[in-house]
């Protein structure tokens, strides 16, 4: 799940990262898109895998040609799962955009208000809940501590603890820690906000979050591979995720890491473990949705083109607060939707991480153009060479979506904070 720190854009990694702060296969759908764009993206994807990423899926739709799709993977991962561009993927904090959409739909129906205090919906569950509003949860200005920093939750996130957490327990883990600041004072990304929002949605509707996603988003948009899992079972179409094993992970972790922190899972290759089946109960409304690159593109298009929200609520969603107060014209966070500045232009979307999965999904302001870069690891991208190759790939994919060439000498981290 995404966490926002002062690190460069590519390092907004989930729980673990912040809590502690080659032959390839390629497949692509036939496309009339410019050959140069496909070639550039294919070469960049290969460089990302050569630099250490176990696998990567790229999908780019420039709104004028059939989408470019690419799937590359390292040879050692093929035995576990042959990666395809239409594979299902754990979308991590991209989930927040769907949750925010559901909240704003209820706002449009006058069943919720952005000014509602949390105490109104979750009485007694959030300290100082009378001062925290639904809007503050949506745009991460509540000041609530991020539950993924809690050592007990971290152990489950990495798969070392197999106990399944309930949403109420995750909220309690976050609120057991002192708040970071007074509500509404500033921006600080916290997954606790979206656990609270998931519970509010369920209280307001009497339905499960999984059912709400299906009834209000997935079915109307015909997203046949998008869902919030109700069990830890792994489907055959789910891409496999990988993280460095304990010995190779340790050098990538900063001081303060809890002793013996490592990911659970069977060893693969020479230095990784397969995290596909690790404990997913710590994600839920903050990062639990499974989808595909094509499904998510359809969702982004529907959202930004106004098919899911009335104009007033979409405008609220796109009203941002600076993620870095020293860069008011840089990246901004709206209501579950990010404004991100890249070398080729400004886009809207989100990024996300789960154990073994990193994703970045963006669209232009109209929703006509979409891009997704899905990578089957978080910490294998923490090495400088892999991080640089991956950021170059993301930059190139966004530029291709916008119909532009990547500027020569552009920064590998366009949104450094």
- DSSP secondary structure letter of residue 406: P
Task: Assign 223 to helix, strand or coil.
Answer: coil
Sign of CA pseudo-dihedral 55, 228, 121, 164: negative
**DSSP-derived 3-state class of residue 271:** coil
Q: Name, in order, each residue with C-beta under 8 angstroms of 13's C-beta and a sequence gap of 6 or more.
A: 2, 3, 353, 358, 378, 379, 382
The phi and psi torsions of 339 (rounded to 5 degrees) equal -100, 120
Tokens 């489907």: give the residue. Answer: 235
* H/E element, 293: helix 293-304
Closest C-alpha among 353, 317, 311 to residue 338: 317
Helix axes 167-175, 192-205, angle to 10 degrees: 130
Q: Which residues contact 135 (CB under 8 A, 6 or more apart)?
A: 114, 115, 141, 335
d(CA 47, CA 1): 25
What is d(CA 42, CA 74) in angstroms, rounded to the nearest whole number?
14
Does the annotation count 413 as an active-site position?
no
373 Cα distance to chain centroid: 11
Active-site annotation holder among 6, 31, 44, 93: 93
Backbone phi, psi, residue 278, to 5°: -70, 165
Tokens 């500045």 — which residue?
341
Determine which helix (DSSP H) or strand (DSSP E) holds 362, and give its type and residue range. Answer: strand 357-363
The catalytic residues are 93
């Amino acid at each position: 799940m995404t966490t926002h720190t002062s690190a460069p854009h590519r390092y907004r990694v989930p729980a673990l990262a912040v809590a502690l702060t080659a032959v390839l296969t390629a497949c692509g759908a036939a496309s009339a898109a410019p050959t140069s764009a496909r070639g550039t993206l294919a070469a960049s994807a290969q460089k990302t895998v050569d630099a250490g990423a176990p696998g990567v899926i790229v999908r780019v739709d420039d709104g004028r040609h059939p989408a470019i799709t690419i799937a590359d993977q390292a040879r050692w991962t093929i035995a576990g799962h042959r990666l395809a561009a239409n594979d299902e993927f754990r979308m991590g904090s991209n989930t927040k955009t769907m949750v925010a959409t559901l909240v704003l739909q209820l706002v449009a129906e006058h069943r919720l208000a952005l000014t509602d205090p949390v105490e109104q919906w979750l009485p007694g569950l959030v300290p100082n809940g009378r001062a925290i509003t639904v809007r503050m949860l949506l745009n991460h200005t509540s000041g609530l501590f991020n539950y993924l920093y809690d050592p007990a939750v971290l152990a489950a996130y990495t798969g070392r603890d197999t106990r399944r957490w309930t949403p109420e327990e995750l909220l309690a883990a976050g609120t057991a820690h002192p708040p970071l600041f007074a509500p509404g004072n500033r921006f600080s990304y916290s997954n606790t906000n979206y656990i609270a929002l998931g519970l509010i949605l369920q209280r307001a509707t009497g339905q499960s979050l999984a059912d709400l996603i299906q009834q209000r988003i997935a079915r109307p948009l015909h997203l046949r591979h998008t869902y919030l899992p109700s069990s830890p079972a792994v489907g055959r179409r789910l891409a496999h995720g990988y993280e460095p094993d304990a010995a190779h992970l340790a050098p990538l972790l900063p001081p303060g890491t809890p002793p013996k922190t490592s990911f659970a899972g069977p060893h693969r290759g020479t230095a990784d473990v397969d995290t596909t089946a690790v404990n997913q109960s710590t994600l839920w409304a903050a990062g639990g949705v499974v989808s595909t690159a094509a499904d998510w593109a359809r969702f982004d298009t529907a959202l930004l083109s106004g098919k899911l929200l009335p104009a007033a609520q979409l405008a609220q969603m796109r009203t941002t607060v600076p993620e870095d107060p020293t860069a008011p014209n840089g990246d901004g966070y709206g209501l579950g939707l990010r404004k991100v500045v890249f070398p080729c232009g400004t886009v809207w979307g989100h990024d996300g991480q789960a154990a073994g999965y990193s994703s970045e999904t963006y669209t232009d302001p109209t929703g006509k153009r979409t891009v997704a870069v899905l990578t089957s690891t978080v910490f294998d991208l923490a090495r400088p060479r892999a991080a640089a190759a991956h950021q170059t790939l993301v930059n190139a994919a966004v530029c291709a979506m916008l119909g532009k060439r990547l500027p020569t000498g552009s920064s590998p981290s366009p949104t450094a904070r």
